[in-house]
Chain A
Amino acid sequence: MRRLAAIVLTAAFVALTAMPVAAYLKLGTRAGTRTVTLKWGQMPIRYFVTDRGTTGVTSTQLRDAVGRAFHTWEGAPTAITSSEFVGFTLANPSSGDRATVIGFQNRPDLDRTLGATSFIVDTTTGEIVESDIFFNSAFAWSVAPEGAANLFDLESIALHEIGHLHGLAHSAMGETELRAGGRRVIAAEAVMFPIAFATGNIAGRTLKTDDIAGIGDIYPAPTFSRETGSISGKVTKSGKGILGAHVVAFDMQSKTLVGGFSLTEDGSFVIAGLDPGPHIIRVEPLDDGDIESFFDLTLNVDINFRPQFYDRIVVVPRGGGTSGVELKVVPK
């Protein structure tokens, strides 16, 4: 018998919201003493769209924007995913009906949340049974091909939320700054970065290398493990491992960034899905936003250290891994 649990993930925030930062993480859930990755057990992912638009966006335009976003994820060369639009529904995008529903909901109470994804999962296997996405119609939306001033781009936010729907967590591949009332994103290099770009911006319609590596890690194409490689090692401070450090690999040939985290108390990290070749490694604390956007707050995430480069160029082999990278950081 399946043990099902509902998980609600608030995923995209308005600019100036207190935000998280992280490279690709997979969503997981506890299964006894172990953690299992959330993922769909079979493809295509069958979804409904609410037959209800919002100001400036009809339900048909919503369906089309969501369809384009699914299609963008399906175009990731590292992964095999597929989706199927089943039809319009009058149901709300809320958990519990065993149907994956995507649509608008008016949530003025969530004044910094553009959209969110929720799940019902089999907690013994991590298989996703249902996932719903709502876009907050308390905000003003656009589906204009070139974007529209003062309106959030629906396709960009849909791409982010559908990344969650596939099982991806937030990426820290971005930079923020504190301002009165919250945190503003300066730049990002991942659709899965938790803070949305400003209104009128449509850059979020395109997957970045970090996103593509992440989706490949969950739904790998046959070539994924053959054609890409990984870097693994530890992040230590004063000889002890630290948890939650954001480790970034910069591909010196493609000039792209892919990130990962040290995910255990001993500071171990793995960054997979990297193109073969030389990489520069940089480590930084998770200090661009709220830690809870990335990790369970019961975990002892260490952000008291300075950003740092590794003093060796790390070469990623095709179909293999380079291990033993020790990043020794110093307190701030």
Chain B
Amino acid sequence: MRGQAAGLSPTVRRLAIILLALCATPSLARAQGYIGRDIPHRGSVEASGGVTYSAGYDLGTISAEETRNTGGTTGGATGPFVLFTATSRAKGSPGVQGRLGVFLSRAASIEGGVQLARPILSTELSDDFESAPDVTATETLTRLLVNGSLVMHLTGLSFAGGKGVPFVLGGGGYIRELHEKNEVVETGHEFHAGAGLHVWYGQGKHRVGLRTDVGVSWRRGGADADDVQRTVPTAGLSLAYLF
């Protein structure tokens, strides 16, 4: 009976169209609530570039120590002799960043990014045994951070007609820090988590938007003399392009 459908009465055909419309309406409404009907979709690409800021963080205190003369009649002091102490801090620094992400679905994407910054390493020298005046010694590092993230786009929390879309992300990365003159390299790694917001403009299949995010990066290694995990607040603002 393959020809029967074509032979539906106008009433039945109208009903079918209405039912289809009713069925279609909710999904169409959801699509319009998140950026657009056609994007993002699996395989959509988001490219972004902008500025970033990593807050300063302490790098601990180390001591210049000598071997104490113990034994005999040399007194009761024990432990290493401290010539002076050095307390270091990586100052907060702006940088630039670029990211490229691919959507796995309308609500999830993976992305890789690169950040470049030039933080100042500041070391306060104090407690000198021979009373050398306290001094803060500095150097400028060049920090390259290559990372990857899984981004979950919170479509249910979108607003402004789907143009504003919050997201959360998490991932890890590789840190490469060069000391002054770029002749000594130190490496480390980081894990990060954060949240942010996309605001998209335009109507077409290609969209331009702003992306801002804040987060925390847990770092180990790099120019840090101690093998200790450091917690670093971060923030970023980028211009994004979705296609």
Interface residues of A (CB under 8 A from B): 15, 147, 149-150, 173-175, 184-189, 197-201, 203, 208, 250, 252-253, 255, 257, 276-278, 280, 282, 284, 306-313, 315-318, 320, 322
Contacts and interface: CB of A to CB of B under 8 A. Distances in A.
Contacts of B63: 255
A255 B225 contact: yes
A147 B136 CA distance: 42
Contacts of A309: 84, 125, 128, 132-133, 135, 137
Nearest to B122: A313
24 contacts: A15-B69, A15-B72, A175-B129, A184-B74, A186-B68, A187-B67, A250-B64, A250-B86, A252-B62, A253-B225, A278-B121, A280-B64, A280-B123, A284-B132, A306-B131, A307-B128, A309-B84, A310-B137, A311-B136, A312-B139, A313-B121, A313-B138, A315-B183, A317-B181
B180 interface: yes
B38 interface: no
Nearest to A309: B135
A199 B183 contact: no
B70 A282 contact: no
B137 A312 contact: yes
A309 B135 CA distance: 7
Given A255-B225, A309-B132, 8 more contacts: A173-B66, A282-B64, A282-B132, A307-B130, A308-B132, A309-B125, A315-B180, A318-B183
A198 B128 CA distance: 24
Interface residues of B, number: 41
B184 to A, nearest CB: 5
A319 B137 CA distance: 24
Interface in B13-65: 62-65
A280 B71 contact: no
Interface in B152-203: 179-181, 183-184, 186
B73 interface: yes
Contacts of A276: 183-184
Contact of B84 (A189, A197, A282, A312): A282
Contacts of B74: 15, 184, 198
B131 A307 contact: yes
Contacts of A184: 69, 74
A185 B139 contact: no
A185 B73 CA distance: 12
Contacts, number: 137
Contacts of B184: 276-278, 315-318
Contacts of B228: none
> Which of B63, B130, B133, B136 has its CB near the most chain A CB atoms (within 10 A)?
B130
A284 B133 CA distance: 12
A14 B67 CA distance: 17
A322 B179 CA distance: 12
Contacts of B65: 189, 255
A208 B81 CA distance: 15
B154 to A, nearest CB: 43
Contact of A185 (B62, B69, B133, B136): B69
Nearest to A316: B184
B83 interface: yes
Interface string B184-226: 1010000000000000000000000000000000000001010
Nearest to A253: B225
A313 B120 CA distance: 11
Given A278-B223, A306-B132, A174 B180 contact: no
Contacts of A186: 68-69, 81
A189 B63 CA distance: 13
Contacts of A174: 66
Contacts of A185: 69
A201 B69 contact: yes
Contact of B181 (A175, A252, A282, A315): A315
A284 to B, nearest CB: 6
Nearest to A319: B183
Contacts of B68: 186-187
A150 B63 CA distance: 31
A198 B71 contact: yes
Nearest to B67: A203
A285 B9 CA distance: 109
Contacts of B183: 276, 315, 317-318, 320
A312 B138 CA distance: 5
Nearest to A255: B62
A188 B66 contact: yes
A309 B64 CA distance: 13
Contacts of B128: 282, 307, 309
Given A189-B66, A307-B131, A309-B135, A200 B71 contact: yes
